[in-house]
Amino acid sequence: MTISSSLSAGVSGLAANAHRLATISDNIANSATYGYRRAVTDFHSLVMGNDSGRYVAGGVSATSQRLIDESGALSSTTNPTDLAVRGRGFLPVSSSVMAGERGSEDFRLTTTGSFRADEDGYLRTPDGQTLLGWPAELDGSIGTYPRDTASGLQPVRVPAGELSGIATTEVTLAVNLPATETQEESLGLPEELTVEYYDNLGTTQQLGLTFTPTVPAAGAPPSNEWTLQITDGASADAVVGEYTLVFDDSRGAGGSLATMTAITGGPFDPATGTFSIDVAGGPIEMDVGLPGVSGGLSQLAGVFAPLSVGRDGAATGNLTSVEVDPGGFVHAYYDNGESRRIYQVPLVDVANSNGLETHDGQSYSLTRESGEMLLWNAGDGPTGDIVGFAREESTVDVASELTQLIQTQRAYSSNAKVIQTVELSLAEETDLPVEISVWVLERSELIPLRVCSATIAPLLVRMLDMCVWS
């Protein structure tokens, strides 16, 4: 019946606006929550059917959706492991720190988080979400892992309290030898140079380089030849390489290295200007420059001058900080100036991010509606990059939410007024005075007449007049 359907429509209006009020209040409450994605409520009319000349109210229904595909603005912080995704994609996280204990139900996605090392070194948020990534090899390379599953991901752990020592694998020399020492009147005194390097334990060791000139016979031209002998202090000063150096004396190329011949040790490669020697901890590549090109070994004038000596590696150092670059690579920095790549954090992409299931702590999980996931290198494919020292702000616009709040309150009050009006129209006979109750038709007879509250008041006044004159 029409009046009853009006009551049902008013009740559905109250429920729908209460639904919308819940989403608005949740949005306003989380307007300062990092990573929060606002929820919206949509209304849908219900049609119960209508006949010619007779309308039956259907009411309204409400549905809510969280707009996960919207991104908030980024704000800077002072913590290097405060992370935010700039663009599309999600950070992989888990509620469990042990890879063997983590199940698919623990795998979550988030767009931002304040990750800090816990007592075991794992990067976690205050609410217990652990950052996941692929571990790097000792040389910093990342192995091959599946891209359509989280099975290869492991909790990112900071090597807190661990020392780092990097062995030397390459030494670069730029030394000038005195040309006068290869003339007939020279004394043939050797020139010595000590080069430090780091062994596999981060301990400083020494290479001894001795350059001995070849003195020509009386009346002979300068030999322009030297013998280089290399000893290793870590091997009790054992000889690890001996070479014959010949320098060019032609116009234009005079003083540059012409040839280098190995007596013992690895052969000299003229294409790269390098040779290899075996010290106690392993091979070291020596770079002395290309033949005919300045910048490496040279023979000019009468001064012995080590122009530059360089090496890689580092002594033992302590961890000072951990940072994540835009590509998702996690780097550990040490006080000896060295850094080491320890993990790579990929970004997770799904076809329909609004289909993800929402959990506490601005985290999400995969559903049938979201589609399957795919792991991408940050900055590659459709995904954005990762920003350190940053957090993503809430997507809530408080001014817009307050405007909707006023609209919802008015709509709620209006629906309550509809219910109040219908209730008056459906008043029971016992609500009328006893003196006039006999003049009022039965409720079952009034209803088909479609008597509304606007017409029943004059009717009751007329009945009161009749009772007085009788």
DSSP 164-206: EEE---EEEEEEEEPGGGGSTTS----EEEEEEEE-TTS-EEE
Return the H-helix or E-strand segment holding 60: strand 60-66
pLDDT surpassing 70 at residue 51: no
What would the two tokens of residue 357 be? 């299931």
What would the two tokens of residue 287 be? 């770079």
Q: What is the pLDDT of residue 336?
A: 79
Query: For residue 412, how many other CB atoms are within 10 A of its CB?
Result: 18
Q: What is the pLDDT of residue 470?
A: 45
Cβ atoms of 240 and 230 closer than 8 Å: yes
pLDDT surpassing 70 at residue 449: no
AA identity, residue 422: V
List Cβ neighbours of 296 (8 Å cut-off, separation of 6 or more).
173, 174, 257, 273, 287, 288, 289, 290
For residues 224-248, average pLDDT: 96
Return the H-helix or E-strand segment holding 17: helix 2-29
Helical residues (DSSP H) of 139-237, grouped into ranges: none
Q: What is the pLDDT of residue 49?
A: 72
Q: What is the pLDDT of residue 443?
A: 47
pLDDT surpassing 60 at residue 164: yes
Q: What is the pLDDT of residue 460?
A: 52
Whole-number Å distance between alpha carbons of 172 and 295? 10
Return the H-helix or E-strand segment holding 401: helix 398-425
* Sole residue written with tokens 């698919």: 104
For the stretch 391-403, pLDDT in tens is: 999 999 999 999 9
For the stretch 335-372, pLDDT in tens is: 877 888 999 999 999 999 999 999 999 999 999 999 99
Q: What is the pLDDT of residue 437?
A: 47
Under DSSP, is residue 71 helix (H, G, I), strand (E, B) or coil?
Answer: coil
Which residue, 38, 31, 34, is CA-closest to 393?
34
* Sole residue written with tokens 């999600």: 90
Share of the chain above pLDDT 70, in %: 87
- Average per-residue pLDDT for the chain: 87
Whole-number Å distance between alpha carbons of 50 and 58? 10
Q: Which domains does the chain have, with CATH numbers?
A: 3-67+396-428 (no CATH), 74-162+345-392 (no CATH), 166-316 (2.60.98.20)
What would the two tokens of residue 192 be? 């010595």
pLDDT surpassing 60 at residue 256: yes
Which residue, 310, 282, 311, 318, is CA-closest to 200?
282
AA identity, residue 438: V
What would the two tokens of residue 445 be? 């007879």
Q: Which pLDDT band, with edges at 50, 70 and 90, does 450 fall under?
A: very low
